[in-house]
Structure formats: structure tokens, C-alpha cells
Chain A
């Protein structure tokens, strides 16, 4: 009996091993991009990008970069926060050269643990200081405005208030949706604290909380819920709606409302990028950042992702109010690094 089991174990084990090795070496590469192990030297000539922005959105832009510069590029697409956690867990062993993130907060978190290198002044100089790190570890590459989306079947523009504060009024009870775990939302709360103080921010959160908002995990879910009539208004970024209109047509029953007068509810956030201190290919990494900030890169964001270009002279999508017309509060994004304080406030007010 003993030898029977030994044989079974051996057979099973060798089959597993063969299977694992088999796939390892065969390396099927369905996407046509290179799939190889992470052996040291091979990486020196390849640019590795960790992209928290989806392939759907930035894949074609990266292809243009490849075509324009001849650099060999591989991209790991995943959620921005997942990638930030991954970079932190990888430590010095990270294969990434560039972190291309959906929001400034994740870049800040990675920079805070010393994982991002300072960018050259020539790069930093291209971008309004509001939209880059004070210590020069990352730059914004495209802008997104906070808006209030509303269900056009039950509300018109005239029904909507001109301040985010007004949504604490009891008339909005049960009609609001938000995504308090979303990074853009949290940046907005941090901005609110900077503009009006912690006490006012807490009062606002509690006021909205008293109106029993529906809680979602992302802007897209808030938008979907607005379209489904679960909620009448939602606090999101401007471009989710534009993309749904592209897919679903203009009869999509939701519209964007931009708050005027420097209201914190009209904050402009950025998606940005930085180069890792452990980058094996810093030259190509720098070339990529330069490309993102070139006229070609910036026009791409304007036309393909419905975001705002951040370089002078590149116009935004004509369907959007221009960035200069959005009465965004005058806030420096790297001053929004006190995420911890915001989270504490969100927890104290029972939002998180």
C-alpha cells in the first residue's frame, strides 16, 4: 500500500511540476507583446510602466510613444491603489520604471515612502505648480474637474444649487449618491478642509450624512446609479458622463453641473506620473514623461479621454467648459497630501 501512495504522489507532483514549467517556458503571449521572465539584463533596455490608468484609455497613447521613440515598452495595467500597494510591497525589487497613476494621492503615498525620484526642472516647469508635487517627485499630466451629475428626468440645471454646501439641506434627503472611498472624492474633502477648515468640513460631511446618501465604490457606479434612478444627484468627475454619452448616445438621462465661484466642489484633480528611484531604465522613463507632456500627448487626453490638457496652447474638448472657465478653488494639489487627516474626519463623521 505504501508504494502505491508514493507512486500516486510522485505522479501527481511531477504532473504539476511539468504543467507549471510548461507554461512558464512556453509563455503564451496572446497580446503579442513580449512576455518574458524578469531577468535583470533584459530589463535594462525595456521600459516598464505600472499604469493605474486602463489600457482602454492610455494604451493607444503608449503605442504612439513606442512608434515615436522606438523604445521597447511593457505595461502592467491594474487599479491605481493596487499598484501603489504593489510598489510599496515590492520595495527595492520593483521592476517598474514609471508609475502612471489615476490620482495625485497614490503618487503622494508612493513618494512618501521614498519610492519616487525628483524630476528635472525642465519637466516640472511645463506644469502649473498647482498640478505637481512640491518636492518635484511627480507631475500631473491631465486634469479632471469635480462635478455634480444629475438625473435629467427629474431635475433641470435651474433646480441645482451653486454650492456643494447646499446639498446638506434636508430637501436633498435620500437623493444623493457619493463614493467616499474614491480618491478624487477624498481629495475634494481635503480641499474643503484647506479652504474652510476642519470644523466646516466635518459639519458638511455630517450634513450630507444626515441626508442619507447612497454609498458607492466608484464614480462609474455613482453614474450608473443616477442613470438607473437610484439617486438624483451624485458627486463625481466630469468625464464619466462624456464616455457614457459616447457609448450610449446623447439621450443618456444624466448631465454634468459645474459649481461656480471657487467652490471646493469644483476642484480640478490630476492624473499624473513619476519615476521610481529604483528604475532600471531612467532615460526611457524620462522620455515617456516628456512624451506625455508633449503637444501630441496632451492633445490625446483632450480628444480621447475627455480630460483637460495641462500644457498651455492645447485646447480641451469643445463640448466641455474650458479649464480656465471652471471656477476651481485656488489650491495646490500637493497641499492635499494630508489624506490621513481627511480619513480621520471621514471616520469620525461615520462616513467611512
Chain B
């Protein structure tokens, strides 16, 4: 589906590098596309058939016009003329019908394939492990789902049709011209090489020029976006004039780049139009001679003129396709690459669902190293962690960035598997159970409380979509989020915008708490936020935390002194090892690392 987009196509950069044109990879690409059409073979057949029929019927009118004219000149009864015109109309009607079927069917199959491809991609993304997401930037993955699929979209829906139709039209016209008169056909087609050279030259240059335009328009947009976002600073520092001048310069460079395309278009399109006239002149001049010699009729001459009129569109359209084709092939390669990516953490054969757990957690000599791109292991980040956490304990993980706090949390959620050692819940090895059953009993609260676009209620019920409205409200009330939610314009039905952007940081955290609470996990993993919120919210959050942590095993990557102080067990980590563990008082009494960290503030 080619969609009219204001400037969207201009700002989007699209890489069109395809390194590998070997037969094997080409076959693989085609194979993927072929498999996608598989469920829709009948429709695909209809679409191909109607395409052939539509092209054929479109070629008929000039040919028929020849008979109409010759008939008018030679036969005054006009019976044949009525027949010819009747065929003419019939061909038109058939063309209309076939065009309808072709447009609809090709569009349908194309869009269906794309929808399937998107679904397949998304489904595959759900299966991939966290390690994959940490090695690949989110932007790149998002681009697979959007830009790359769209690049294929252009080829599948529009490109294929144009390719087939233009090629058939060109070939068909040439054949018909030869059928009409081979000598005149040869003379007329002489302009084609000229046209082709001109077109290729134009395409190459204009592709370059448009790339420059896109790049500079991107700069205009970026400058504008930043200046609007920073307008307060521009005004506070009296930079209005300089900013305006700067913007003028950026916009000016964009205009200059665009002028290139204006010049190229101004040269090319009149050139093509002149070639068309030239072809007409050839038809008339040489055709006239052939007519004098009695080799052709006036009707033939007439048909030639009409064909020449329509001859130049397919050449131009074909040349436009080249880029579409390259982009699509490049995009397809990237998508195939993603689909070939195997998930790292998979359920073992015979893995059993984890029954309802108490929440006792043991780490036994756990070592861990992150996998790198290409399957090798990186440096070890955990060196033999031993933890024994009775059910219901609140554990505070303390240590500086990179000490291994969040790695421990991720291993517990089995986002990764230990390289050696073992993690057990209620005595059973984590690797022997299914991931889904484990995570259903696990709640994770990320640092800044990541929320999804959707209503407040949907976000709270994220972990338990079947929750009743009163459960949702109860969870919100328990964490103290109910009040501010009611103040939103649609209460629980308020749309939160992308990533919950409508809410403040503190509010997002509270909603994330409610979400975790509603899921009622046996084990909770919580990454405390570091950025500060205002004092009122701070207090609510503190209270909510206490509720949330009660009666379940909790691992908190802690930043708040109160959280750490209240924890049953404080685990001090450094360089992937447990340095100290114990309660607040025990650790203070030991006068170790914890004391040195805490001591600065104990007196304050």
C-alpha cells in the first residue's frame, strides 16, 4: 500500500545496501516471500491472472483505432466500424474489471503477507531472551518492525505490480509495433536507447540529490524540535536573534539541496517530452515514406502515434523501481536475520510448571558471565555467590554500580542462567521449571516504573489481565495511588500516553507498585528509583513500599536509607562478590564496608 504521507517519506532515511547477491541468499529471500504467500495461493493466482489480463486489454485500444480509421477510409457501410468500436468498449470494460480485481487482490495479498510478517516478527521477539535485548539497541529492533517492514511493503504491493505491468506493457507494445510494421517499429524504437541513457543518468543523480535533501530536511526538523523544546533557554539567554539566524542557515542549506532536484527535474521531464515528440516526428517522417510506398495504411500510422504516446511511462516507472527493490532486499535480509536469532533461555525438555511456592531462595556458588554477540562469554561478573534467604525475608542489595546487584536480580528471574552453580526456590532448581510458571509467581518493579500506553486500569492489571475493577482499585488504594488517579480526567480509564508520559515520576512508580501488588507475587524484585520526587509523594512511596514488601520474599536493589535499615538482610556486594551480609545493626557492629558507607551519614 503506498500511503500518502506529508513529508514522512522525505525524513526517513533508508539504507539500501545489499552485500550479498549470491544465488543462495537470493533464493532464501524469495523462499521467505513465497512461504508467506502460501496460505493465499488462490488469491495470488487471481492477482497474477488479472494483472496479465489488465495489461493485455490496455494494449488493445490503439490497435483497434487503426481498424476504425482504415475502415472509415475504405468501407463506407460502417458495419465493421460498429463492430470495432464495440470491441473497443468491450476491451475497456474488461480492462476496468480486471484492473479492479488486480488492484484489490494484489493489495489484499500484499497487505496480508505484511500483517503476517509483522505478527511473526513480534511473536519471535517475545521468545527472545533478555540478553538479546541488552546486546541490541531498542531503536534498531523497533526499526525492524516499522521501517524495514514498510520497505518490503512498498515492493510487495506497488513494486511488484509496476514491475510486471511496465515490463509487459513495454514488451507488448514493442511486439504490437512489430506486428503492425517491423520497419517503422525499428525506426521508432531507436529513441529508446537515448531515453534509457538519459533516464539512468537522471536516476543516479536524483537519488543522490534526494538523499541530500532528506538529510538536510532531517537537520531542519531536528533543529526546530530542539529549539522549540529549549525555547525557554533561548529566551532566558537572549539568543532569539542568533537562533533565528542559525535556523535560517539550516533551512537555507536545505533549500540549496532541494534546488539540485529542481534543476534535475527541470532538465529531465522536458527531455522526455522532447523525446516523445522526436519519436512522433520519426513515425510521421519515416511512416510517411512507407505510406507513399504503400507499405502501411493511414490506420497503422495512427496506431503508431497512439502507442508512442503511451510508450514513455513504463520506462520511467521501471527506473523508479530500482531503489524500491534494493531497499526491500536489504530490509528483508535484516528481518530474516532477526527471525533466525535463537532464544537463549529456553525451557528444558521435561521442565515442569512450578507449583505454588513459599519463597525460600538459595544461591549456591553462582558464577555468571554475560554472553557476547557471537556466542562467546564476556568477563565473569559474579564470582561464587552464596545466599540463603528464608521465605518472607526482605533482602536489600547494596553496592556501587556494577557490583552485581541487578545481575543477581536477573538471574533470580531467570532472564539468564548461571554459568555455574545453582539457584533454587523452595529447594527446586530454577532450571527445571518452565519460565512462565516461575514468572507468574514473581513480581518485578523496574526503576522508573515503566508503564505502557493504555489506561491506568490496564496498566495496573498488566500482570493479571483478568482482574476485576474492584481488585484494581483495591491495589491502587493500598499503595496510595487511588487519590491521584481519581483526580485524572477519566480516573482509571485515563489514557496514559506513550510510556505513561502523562504521569509524574512519582506517580508512575506508584502505579508500578500497584501493578506488582495486584499480581501478588510470592517473590518480589524491586529496583528502587534514584531520582527524587517531592516530599508528599516520597512519603506515600515509602508507605507503599512497606505494604508491598510485607509477607513475601523480596529482593530490593536499594537506594533509600529507610529501605535498607528496615531490611531483614542486607547484602553488601563489591566486584561480583558478597562482602558482608546481615541486618543493619549486625553490619554496623562489624565496622566493615557497610559502616564506612553508612558512617558518613549516620552522624548527619
The answer on A and B forming one complex is no
Residues of A within 8 A of B (CB): none
